[in-house]
Amino acid sequence: MIAKMKRLTLLCMDSERDRTLVLLRDFGFVELDLSKASGADFAAGKADLERAERAVRIALKAAAERQKECGGKPAGLDFDCPKKQLVDEILKLDAQRAEAESEAQSLEGVIRTYGPFGDFDPALAAKVEKETGLATTLVKTTLRDIDFGDAHVVELGRSGKTRYLAVVGGRPSPAPGLDVVPAPREPLCETSRRLAEALAKVARLEDSLAAAGTRADQIEAMFPGLKDRIEFAAAEESLSSTGKVAWIQGWVPADRVPSLRAKAVTESWGLDLRDPEPGEQPPVLITPPKLFRPVRALFDALGIAPAYNETDVSVPFMCYFSVFFAMLVGDGGYGAIILVATLFGWWKTRPAEGHRPVVVRSWLTLLTVFSVATVVWGVLSNTWFGVGLPFAAEWPTVKWLGDPSYHNMMFLCFTIGVSHLMIARIWSAVCRINDSTCLAELGWAGVLLFMYFVTNSIVGIMPAIPKFMFPVFYVSLALVFLFTVKPSQLKTRGAELGMLPLNVMSTLGDIISYVRLFAVGLASVKVAQNFNDMALGLVSSDNAWWANALMAVGTVLILLIGHALNFAMAGLSILVHAVRLNTLEFSNHKGVTWSGSAFSPFRKH
């Protein structure tokens, strides 16, 4: 369910404002209205956090690049810097590296320009001009016969048809096929020396940044404190005051009001608590049954929350998401890998004292449920890395799901789909039991059931639509038409009745869309099978033993790369399809818009 919220206005003595905020933060169940925060302390806190995050990204990237180059941390690298100066030192090193890289790129451009002229010495050319009055001009040309008059021409280099010349005693003008190149500032050998120094400086700075990456965790440990500082500064700036009284507004869950009142009595606060008014958007605190609480971590990761006046759909979301996860992955072997990795995660994160963080525990629970569901699907369908186990080939579920016509799989998908959508409609009807629109929701449930049989008939799973479904459909349409819009709303919502035919047809598309569970899962299995066939086809009895030995290596590589790619694509399909079926098809029928903002209380990170 979605927790009821109360609009809070808290009054305190202006002299006690900082202490009040500290106590509210320790209370940890009030979301403050921080929209007024824009002062210097708040901006400074955000800037410090952004600098720290940037420093971590820079250091970790440098460490990853160096590890890729050297296969690990190069020997002798260390980053000796006080913890308080880590961020400043990393950003300083990064700025120096950027400057050195810019200098190196500039010098490389100079070498590309003047390299073909050889080690030309501009100081010597200037000395000749001073002593003899003969200027030296550098020329790049593709022309063969050029008349420079009385000037002395020296060819300094050649590249293909292009010649690089020094013209002494003449000042040729640019022409088609002839370019006059300004004299360099220094000999090429000096530029090369400076380039080598710049590249060496870049390498040293990258070594230092790579070493700093080993201390990135110390910077990350500062993040919670920086976030606390930002929020506290925002809260301070959001406090309004008149004379000796200060106040701040926010939201508090209704079940926490007694505790807040007791705190207010102790601290001599004034409280004004009221229900949300029309048009207000309170934050959303989802409180599903204990068994289904881990799904909140998935909601947070997706960045979604139902609106305050909508319904908490955590229970069906988690149940059906588990089924979708299993069918979209489609392979019990992949599920076993996820399960082993999850069990390792449970072991790796076992706390020495206290408990695991809630987010970690939630994700481990979710992955355990999803992976077990996938393994169960692998048992039912006999799919293990694209290979079926011989002893399971005759199991009833394996034979039924393995129907060559794929009718059984499509029937299963449509059945899952209609059950999912009908739950949404019947649930809405129960929620509106005291309102006439309850009958419209029941009518939509009947329309969905009729379209379920239509879908099965279209694809040839059923020979025809059962006759008893036609009266059900007509009655359902009548309920939808008569009770969707109340007579008093005909002027404002009457157009919805005109859209009824399109909405009815869209229910057919909604049910058909669940066939993606079969199509994507089948694609995953077929890709795995094709990689298996490709890999195993390399080894042949007609080959020499040494050829088969080489082919065996190729077989292993193909299997590893192929299944890794397939595994990654399965993960992508979950993000696309499993999330869509819950947040779009199901939510549209339930009336969940996911337009809410999650409850974010003022508390220490």
Residue 280: pLDDT band by 50, 70, 90 thresholds? Answer: confident
- Distance between CA 265 and CA 246 in Å, rounded? 17
Residue 72: pLDDT band by 50, 70, 90 thresholds? Answer: low
Residue 380: pLDDT band by 50, 70, 90 thresholds? Answer: very high
- The reported pTM is 0.77
Beta strand 31-32 pairing with 178-181 = unpaired
Q: Which of 481, 514, 547 is the last residue of a domain?
A: 514
- Distance between CA 70 and CA 294 in Å, rounded? 41
pLDDT of residue 75: 44
pLDDT of residue 541: 60
Beta strand 31-32 pairing with 270-274 = unpaired
Residue-range definition of the domain harbouring residue 326: 295-405+517-590
- Distance between CA 447 and CA 510 in Å, rounded? 12
- Distance between CA 341 and CA 337 in Å, rounded? 6
- Is 81 a member of any domain? no
Q: Which of 157, 183, 209 is the last residue of a domain?
A: 183
Inter-residue long-range contacts of 102-110, CB under 8 Å, 24+ positions, other chains counted: 103/194, 103/198, 104/195, 104/198, 104/199, 104/202, 107/191, 107/194, 107/195, 107/198, 108/195, 110/184, 110/191
Mean pLDDT score across all residues of the chain: 86
167: left (phi over 0), alpha (psi -120 to 50) or beta: beta
Tokens at 320, concatenated: 């059906």
pLDDT tens by residue, 545-560: 566 677 777 788 888 8
Cβ distance 454 to 465 under 8 Å? yes
pLDDT of residue 76: 42
Residue 98: pLDDT band by 50, 70, 90 thresholds? Answer: very high
Number of folded domains that form the chain: 3
pLDDT of residue 498: 74
pLDDT of residue 200: 92
Same domain membership, residue 532 and residue 452: no
- Distance between CA 125 and CA 169 in Å, rounded? 11
Cβ distance 50 to 219 under 8 Å? no
- Is 301 a member of any domain? yes
Same domain membership, residue 505 and residue 413: yes
| Residue % of the chain over a pLDDT of 70 | 93
Say if residue 71's pLDDT is above 70: no
Same domain membership, residue 573 and residue 495: no
Same domain membership, residue 466 and residue 482: yes
Same domain membership, residue 452 and residue 324: no
pLDDT of residue 545: 59
- Distance between CA 412 and CA 419 in Å, rounded? 11
Same domain membership, residue 416 and residue 362: no
Same domain membership, residue 533 and residue 473: no
- Distance between CA 144 and CA 404 in Å, rounded? 76
- Distance between CA 531 and CA 534 in Å, rounded? 5
Q: 10 Å Cβ neighbour count for 237?
A: 17
Residue 258: pLDDT band by 50, 70, 90 thresholds? Answer: very high
- Is 563 a member of any domain? yes
pLDDT of residue 354: 64
- Is 212 a member of any domain? no
Same domain membership, residue 534 and residue 479: no
Same domain membership, residue 524 and residue 380: yes
Say if residue 417's pLDDT is above 90: yes
Q: At 287, give phi and psi (nearest 5°).
A: -125, 75
Tokens at 538, concatenated: 């390399």
Sign of the CA dihedral 38, 39, 42, 45? positive
Q: Which DSSP category does 181 fall into?
A: E
- Is 214 a member of any domain? no
Same domain membership, residue 344 and residue 489: no
Provide CB contacts within 8 A for 117, sequence distance 6+: 138, 156, 157, 164, 166, 181, 188
* Rg of the chain over all Cα atoms, to the nearest angstrom: 36
Q: Which helix (H) or strand (E) holds 265?
A: helix 257-267
- Is 179 a member of any domain? yes
Same domain membership, residue 533 and residue 399: yes
Tokens at 406, concatenated: 């794929």
Q: Amino acid letter at 368?
A: T
Q: Which of 183, 206, 237 is the last residue of a domain?
A: 183
pLDDT of residue 36: 67
| Rounded mean pLDDT, 377-397 | 88
Q: DSSP letters along 99-133, please? A: HHHHHHHHHHHHHHHHGGG-S--HHHHHHHHHHH-
pLDDT tens by residue, 465-495: 888 999 999 999 999 888 887 777 776 776 7
- Is 49 a member of any domain? no
pLDDT tens by residue, 26-55: 888 988 888 766 667 777 777 887 888 888
| Rounded mean pLDDT, 559-564 | 86
pLDDT tens by residue, 195-248: 999 999 998 888 888 888 887 887 777 777 778 888 888 888 888 888 889 888
pLDDT of residue 231: 82
- Is 526 a member of any domain? yes
Same domain membership, residue 339 and residue 413: no
Lowest average pLDDT, out of 33-37, 140-144, 446-450, 468-472, goes to 33-37
pLDDT of residue 244: 87
Tokens at 277, concatenated: 């008014």
